[in-house]
Amino acid sequence: MIDPRVSVIEKRLKDVNRILVVSSGKGGVGKSVFSSSAALALNVLGYKTGLLDLDFQGSSDHIILGEGVSFPEESMGIRPFKLSNGIDFVSFSLFTGESALPLRGVDTTNAILELLAVTIWDELDFLIVDLPPGIGEEVLDIIRLIKQLEFILISSSSLISVKVVKRLAALLKNMNIPIDGIVENMASDSSSYVADMAREYSLNYLGTIPFVSQLESEIGNWRKLKDGLFVDYVSSVIKQIIY
Ligand SMILES: Nc1ncnc2c1ncn2[C@@H]1O[C@H](COP(=O)(O)OP(=O)(O)O)[C@@H](O)[C@H]1O
Ligand SMILES: [Mg+2]
């Protein structure tokens, strides 16, 4: 049976121009800080921007941005929470707060389906989607449910991360999903694994973000984050994708 929610999702996203999915396969490499910062950078550049946190168990964009997000407005569906800078924000945390959601496989898929089917996005130039780690359920669901997406891959400089990101890159290439490129985060000068991978997989190497020690003091305050060094780096990465 065809799930009617699947066709609704296309309608819900029809006014969104570009959907950038931030993914890695690996956890802890900076997907969430990059996603939140990319939304801030695009917002500063004057683009209408949305941020969708699809990390079901580990949602953290609301913690990074830190504006008291609250239950979204309902009107035959839900409207994204509007940050005071105009970014439209949706996360499972809008509904669950800081509680864990003890859901298994198919229930997770259903929750994602439901969230995508009920959220009515306004006209947006860019929607940034922050994914959980892993190359399973959520990645496959989002590829199946959302048309016209573009992936941004994030890796740290470590071989441990690069090996996992390679699996994701291979999967996406096999499925003919567009990849904008790869970002090396928390980069170490002595490593060339990410640059080598970019060459091997014919990916755009979108740039290097070093470890930024003041980032932690900016977490939870998007105004501080927006003016900080980390967002500067993210902004130069994101400009390569949008121009
Ligand atoms: N370039 C960086 N400089 C300093 N800290 C970073 C940097 N990138 C990520 N972090 C920190 O690393 C941790 C993991 O980042 P996070 O965005 O949660 O990763 P992911 O979403 O991939 O699991 C966070 O505490 C984040 O603040
Ligand atoms: Mg994350």
pLDDT for 142-184, tens place per residue?
999 998 999 999 999 999 999 999 999 999 999 999 999 999 9
Per-chain mean pLDDT for the chain: 93
Does the beta carbon of 22 lie inside 6 Å of ligand 1? no
The letter for the amino acid at 236 is S
Does the beta carbon of 215 lie inside 6 Å of ligand 1? yes
Q: What is the CATH number of the domain that holds 58?
A: 3.40.50.300
Does the beta carbon of 186 lie inside 6 Å of ligand 1? yes
As for how many domains the chain has, the answer is 1
Does the beta carbon of 30 lie inside 6 Å of ligand 1? yes
Probe ligand 1: pick from 153, 215, 219, 229, max atoms within 8 Å of CB?
215
Q: Rounded mean pLDDT of 67-86?
A: 82
Does the beta carbon of 31 lie inside 6 Å of ligand 1? yes
Domain of 216, in residue numbers: 4-242
The residue ranking higher by pLDDT, 85 or 57, is: 85
Does the beta carbon of 155 lie inside 6 Å of ligand 1? no
Q: In the structure, what pLDDT confidence band is assigned to residue 1 with cuts at 50, 70 and 90? A: low
Determine the Cα–Cα distance for residues 212 and 208; give it in Å rounded to an integer: 12
Q: Which atom of ligand 1 is nearest to the CA of 33?
A: 17
CA 40, 224, 229, 183 torsion-angle sign: negative
Question: Residue 99's CB: how many other CB atoms inside 10 A?
Answer: 8
pTM of the model: 0.95
Closest CA to ligand 1's atom 24: 30
Say yes or no to pLDDT of 75 above 70: no
Q: Which atom of ligand 1 is nearest to the CA of 35?
A: 17
Q: What pLDDT does 160 receive?
A: 96
Does the beta carbon of 212 lie inside 6 Å of ligand 1? yes
